[in-house]
Chain A
Amino acid sequence: MTEYFQSFGMSYEFAWFTATIAGILLIALPLMLAVAMIIYVDRKVLGAIMMRRGPNVVGPFGLLQSFADGLKVFLQETIIPSAANKGLFLLAPIITFTVALAAWAVIPFNSGAVLADINVGLLYVLAVSSLGVYGVVISGWASNSKYPFFSAMRAAAQMISYEVSIGFILVCVVLWANSFNLNDIIVAQKGHGLGFVNAFAFNPLLFPLFVMFLISAMAETARAPFDLTEAESELVAGYQTEYSSMSFALFWLGEYANILLMCALCAILFFGGWLPPVEWEPLYAIPGWIWLFGKMFVFFFIFSWTWGTVPRYRYDQLMRLGWKVFLPLSLLFVFLISGYLMLTRYAPL
């Protein structure tokens, strides 16, 4: 895109700057729209599971419900508790929101359609998503109130635990794809299953990792059944208890942007990202970003479905699953997969 702006006679630096800003807006604005619509989808799916209608008043089929909610929240008064640490209290939702958006810089929407095509793309995603915990921890501490603080402590322990196994799962995928670059990982999945299925998930060695990744993604984004950080029966609303108005909305948007990111990662790492599901020439006529969005939508449906049907975990069960089940299993798979690749792909003879 830099070349395009340079063709208007801009200097290289200025063209680069404009191109980057344009790229960021091109990702962030549709993402915000997607978050608004996915909240609607979430509520509709949940409504269907609970045999009620879900939002159906604002706009046709209730499609504009999220925008009405956004407007309402925007008009509310921002309340800062007098005992709160004011600066950090206001900083926390901004951190959550910024970090949730920053990770999208390396997500490829089509062949080459990526804001930052860096070699360490997957590590960048891991690094940025590990920053997400700060928004929660800082908000819990700065609120100077008991329930948010409990929630912050839970969040800190939970997110660190599941990051470890997510790291090992990513290592397995990277070993197979031979690259940290998300685009290269997608290209490596071309015709991976039986020569025509574009997905890593149908590889018997990688399928268990996909299941573990999906569950860890729910724990990492604190989605039900792992939503202990905002367990309403114990902690009121967890770290968001003292928040109102736009600062609350920023948490909300950041949380859903993170969920969408995890859905995108599931699609990119195990289901071929922007590639069509199977190798068949006419399917390539449909643009890649539609395939990616379709796959993300399927995973998001799984997320909401789980929310509607599975009871919440107990905290000790959560920790046990992370440290005693997923960590040893994912380590075992690192051994298995590197061993298998040593024998087949990198055979010494």
Chain B
Amino acid sequence: MIQTLAFYLFALLVIASGVFTITARNPVHSVLWLIMAFFNAAGLMVLVGAEFIAMLLVIVYVGAVAVLFLFVVMMLNIDFAEMRAGFIKNFPLGIAIALVLLAELVLGIGAYKAGALELGVADGSAAPMIGESNITSLGTLLYSKYIFLFEAAGIILLVAMIGAIVLTLEKSAADVRGQQDIGKQNRRRPEDATEMQNPEVGKGVEL
């Protein structure tokens, strides 16, 4: 009973926030609705028993990615009139993407309805692990059966990260001059910076 109610609540909120994400006039509101959608999707995942994935969704997407998203959108000064002018031009493209996504969804549900995928029955390494916690079963799968795919994903992410750093790294003379050298600041002692002077009255100090 409670689970059914919770499911319909989360599902309704995901769809509603999705709709508001694309209809909101203010881009900041759009991002906030998107965050709401992420959050409720995490709730749905908890309901199906994938609590680890749900927590990762909240930590990674809501806690980090969406904050950066919000950060950028808040600082941009977006011209609404210009945005709407592009709507008609990009309409066919949007429809095409929507159709592809719909086709994938139908295909996925069709394949699911056709029968269970019987993962890993051939070698038995990924037999369903009932009674184990999410993290244990996911870890066992990732580090045994899918170890090479997992490593490959890691390498792709590493390359992407290095690429992003290289693209944004521009060291000009002005940057170097503007940078603070913390080591130098920490090494600085009061004796290096100050000097005790005891001038005679009326003589002053030579600077």
| Any A CB within 8 A of the CB of B142 | no
Query: Hey, which chain A residues are within 8 Å of B75, CB to CB?
Result: 153
* Residue from A120, A128, A316 in contact with B52 in the complex, judged by beta carbons closer than 8 Å: A120
Known pairs A130-B58, A160-B64; A119 contacts B35 (CB<8 A): no
Known pairs A16-B2, A120-B55, A141-B74; A130 contacts B133 (CB<8 A): no
Query: Hey, which chain B residues are within 8 Å of A134, CB to CB?
Result: 35, 67
Q: Is the CB of A133 within 8 A of B67?
A: yes
Q: A interface, by DSSP: helix, strand, loop or mixed?
A: helix
* Bound complex: CA A134 to CA B58 (Å): 13
* Bound complex: CA A134 to CA B182 (Å): 31
Q: Is the CB of B68 within 8 A of A160?
A: yes
Query: Hey, which chain B residues are within 8 Å of A88, CB to CB?
Result: 29, 32
Q: Considering only CB atoms, which chain B residue lies closest to A152 in the complex?
A: B74
* Residue from B32, B59, B70, B180 in contact with A126 in the complex, judged by beta carbons closer than 8 Å: B59
* Bound complex: CA A152 to CA B55 (Å): 25
The number of residues on chain A lying at the interface, defined by a beta carbon within 8 Å of a beta carbon of chain B, is: 33
| Any A CB within 8 A of the CB of B143 | no
| Any A CB within 8 A of the CB of B62 | yes
Q: Is the CB of B52 within 8 A of A123?
A: yes
Q: Mark B114-148, 1 if CB is under 8 A from A, else 0.
A: 00000000000000000001110000000000000
Within 8 A of B (CB), among A113-146: 118-120, 123-124, 126-128, 130-131, 133-134, 137-138, 141
| Any A CB within 8 A of the CB of B28 | yes
| Any B CB within 8 A of the CB of A230 | no
* Bound complex: CA A167 to CA B75 (Å): 28
Query: Hey, which chain A residues are within 8 Å of B180, CB to CB?
Result: 314, 316-317
Q: Is the CB of A141 within 8 A of B67?
A: no
Q: Mark B67-111, 1 if CB is under 8 A from A, else 0.
A: 110110011000000000000000000000000000000000000
Known pairs A127-B59, A138-B32, A163-B64; A156 contacts B70 (CB<8 A): yes
Q: Is the CB of A120 within 8 A of B135?
A: yes
Q: Is the CB of B63 within 8 A of A127?
A: yes
Known pairs A120-B52, A156-B70; A130 contacts B28 (CB<8 A): no
Q: Mark B43-56, 1 if CB is under 8 A from A, else 0.
A: 00000000110011
In angstroms, how far is the closest chain A Cβ from the Cβ of B142? 15
- Return 17 A-B CB contacts under 8 Å, by A number: A13-B2, A88-B32, A118-B51, A119-B51, A119-B134, A120-B135, A126-B55, A126-B63, A127-B62, A127-B63, A130-B58, A130-B64, A133-B63, A141-B28, A156-B70, A160-B68, A314-B180
Q: Which residues of B contact A (CB under 8 A)?
A: 1-2, 28-29, 32, 35, 51-52, 55-56, 58-59, 62-64, 67-68, 70-71, 74-75, 133-135, 180, 182
Enumerate the 8 nearest inter-chain pairs by beta-carbon distance, A residue then B residue, closest first. Answer: A130-B63, A127-B58, A123-B55, A119-B133, A127-B59, A127-B55, A156-B71, A120-B51
